[in-house]
């Protein structure tokens, strides 16, 4: 159920200063243990465990588990991956949170403290006392022709405005996470909405706007990041599980066979199949992908219209981005250049692991980002 190279990496294992990042996804949990050494993040161990089997479902399927079952899975994963640290950052699914950019009058910080909770009510469908909110003023860009000035000109010819990034999580969601992490014996330093974690391990330094696509099992998260700040977000309910389902239906296979073939050969033709079968497999996988990519192109367009500038490139992440042959299709289907994320590049690991870490890397973006934040704050 789990894989890890914990034993191989164990020789590097540190002591108290090691930290972990835990990404509880809809289909699997990912964990990464890092230690800071001479200013670099040393990879001590990592692992993944599929959640399907905890609900008598296949590997790769999204499942809803109780906090106790999830805690059990975390404990199993920590044991199998030889995780020794207990100090963690844990992600909250984007789908359980609200992330919004508010356009507000250009008032001072004190007035904002009053205005933001009032404005937030317009976006949050439950009583404000039942959510934890946080917010942050998006820094203005230098120079006259900034994107922000463009919006000002076009949208608000009146008083000056400012943008505020609002995030909210329901308290009941946070309580659920507290219960399950306590049951798993993990000391949580912070919870973070998954998209903010992934940015840390996916985006290299630079000011140009980048669009990140996280293809998970249940959902695909699409968001634009500029100067390290989220500017636009979009959630679609099509993920990589949909791809397996379409493939299974079209080939008359069971889910587990379709899941295996998808992961092993993806869009790359194989001699194990006839040329008709190869085409059929490709067509099935592409039908889901084209829906995801057309959503991405829509977000690219709406970002361009809103801020009057273009996204520099797209980065594909999430387990679904490990699909063999994906980058070629991304190149032809997307309106801008695309690359596959390589989050382990932000860590130091033995060279012989390079290929495997590159292959499985996209699925670990959130877990690595969490561990990196934990390392930097200590």
Residues that bind Mg ion (CB under 5 A): 25, 216
Is the CB of 95 or the CB of 145 nearer to Mg ion?
95
Is the CB of 25 or the CB of 209 nearer to ligand ATP?
25
DSSP character at residue 218: S
262 binds, among ligand ATP, Mg ion, none (CB under 5 to 8 A by kind): ligand ATP
Is the CB of 34 or the CB of 261 nearer to ligand ATP?
261
For residue 257, give both structure tokens: 């066979």
Task: Find the shortest distance in angstroms from Cβ 235 to ligand ATP.
Answer: 10
Task: Find the shortest distance in angstroms from Cβ 316 to Mg ion.
Answer: 13
For residue 254, give both structure tokens: 């069971």
Q: What is the DSSP string of 91-155?
A: EE-GGGEEEEEEEEE---HHHHHHHHHHHHHHH-SS-GGGEEEEEEEPPPPSSTT-HHHHHHHHH
Closest to 311 measured CA to CA, from 326, 320, 299, 321: 299
Task: Find the shortest distance in angstroms from Cβ 213 to Mg ion.
Answer: 12
Task: Find the shortest distance in angstroms from Cβ 70 to ligand ATP.
Answer: 12
Report, in this order, helix, strand and coil percent for the chain, each rounded to 5: 45, 25, 30
Assess contact for 46 and 2: CB atoms under 8 A: no
266 binds, among Mg ion, ligand ATP, none (CB under 5 to 8 A by kind): ligand ATP
Assess contact for 152 and 161: CB atoms under 8 A: yes
Beta bridge partners of 40: 37
Binding site for ligand ATP (CB under 6 A): 25-28, 60, 93, 216-219, 239-241, 244, 259, 262-263, 266, 318-320, 322-323, 363
Task: Find the shortest distance in angstroms from Cβ 189 to ligand ATP.
Answer: 21
369 binds, among ligand ATP, Mg ion, none (CB under 5 to 8 A by kind): none
Is the CB of 26 or the CB of 33 nearer to ligand ATP?
26
Task: Find the shortest distance in angstroms from Cβ 23 to ligand ATP.
Answer: 6
Is the CB of 25 or the CB of 362 nearer to Mg ion?
25
Is the CB of 18 or the CB of 244 nearer to Mg ion?
244
Compute CA 242 distance to the chain's CA centroid, rounded to the nearest angstrom: 18
H/E element holding 315?
strand 313-317
197 binds, among Mg ion, ligand ATP, none (CB under 5 to 8 A by kind): none
Assess contact for 347 and 29: CB atoms under 8 A: no
241 binds, among Mg ion, ligand ATP, none (CB under 5 to 8 A by kind): ligand ATP
Cα–Cα distance for residue pair 373/193, rounded to 1 Å: 13
């Amino acid at each position: 159920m789990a894989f890890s190279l914990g034993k191989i990496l164990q020789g590097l294992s540190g002591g108290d200063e090691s930290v972990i990042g835990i990404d509880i996804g809809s289909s699997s949990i990912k964990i990464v243990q890092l230690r800071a050494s001479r200013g670099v993040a040393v990879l001590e161990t990592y692992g993944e465990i599929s959640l399907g089997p905890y609900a008598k479902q296949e590997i790769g399927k999204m499942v809803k588990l109780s906090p106790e079952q999830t805690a059990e899975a975390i404990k199993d994963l920590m044991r199998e991956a030889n995780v020794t640290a207990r100090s963690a950052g844990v992600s909250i699914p984007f789908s359980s949170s609200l992330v919004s950019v508010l356009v507000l009058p250009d008032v001072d910080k004190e007035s904002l403290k009053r205005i933001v909770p009032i404005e937030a009510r317009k976006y949050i469908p439950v009583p404000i006392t039942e959510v934890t909110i946080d917010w942050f003023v998006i820094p203005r860009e230098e120079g006259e022709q900034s994107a922000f000035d463009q919006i000002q000109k076009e949208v608000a010819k009146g008083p000056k405005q400012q943008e505020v990034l609002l995030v909210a999580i329901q308290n009941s969601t946070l309580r659920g996470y507290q219960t399950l992490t306590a049951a798993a014996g993990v000391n949580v330093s912070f919870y973070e909405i998954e998209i903010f974690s992934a940015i840390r391990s996916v985006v290299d330094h630079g000011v140009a706007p980048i669009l990140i696509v996280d293809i998970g099992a249940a959902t695909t998260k699409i968001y634009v990041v500029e100067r390290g700040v989220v500017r636009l977000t979009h959630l679609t309910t099509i993920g990589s599980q949909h791809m397996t389902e379409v493939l299974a239906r079209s080939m008359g296979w069971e889910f587990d066979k379709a899941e295996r073939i998808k992961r092993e050969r993806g869009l790359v033709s194989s001699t194990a199949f006839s040329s008709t079968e190869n085409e059929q497999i490709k067509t099935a996988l592409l039908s889901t992908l084209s829906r995801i990519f057309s959503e991405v192109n829509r977000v690219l367009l709406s970002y361009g219209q809103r801020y009057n500038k273009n996204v520099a490139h797209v980065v594909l992440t999430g387990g679904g981005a490990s699909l063999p042959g994906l980058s070629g299709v991304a190149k032809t289907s997307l309106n801008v250049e695309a690359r596959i994320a390589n989050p382990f590049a932000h860590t130091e690991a033995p060279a012989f692991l390079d290929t495997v870490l590159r292959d499985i890397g996209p699925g670990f973006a959130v877990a690595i980002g969490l561990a990196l934040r934990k390392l930097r704050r200590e």
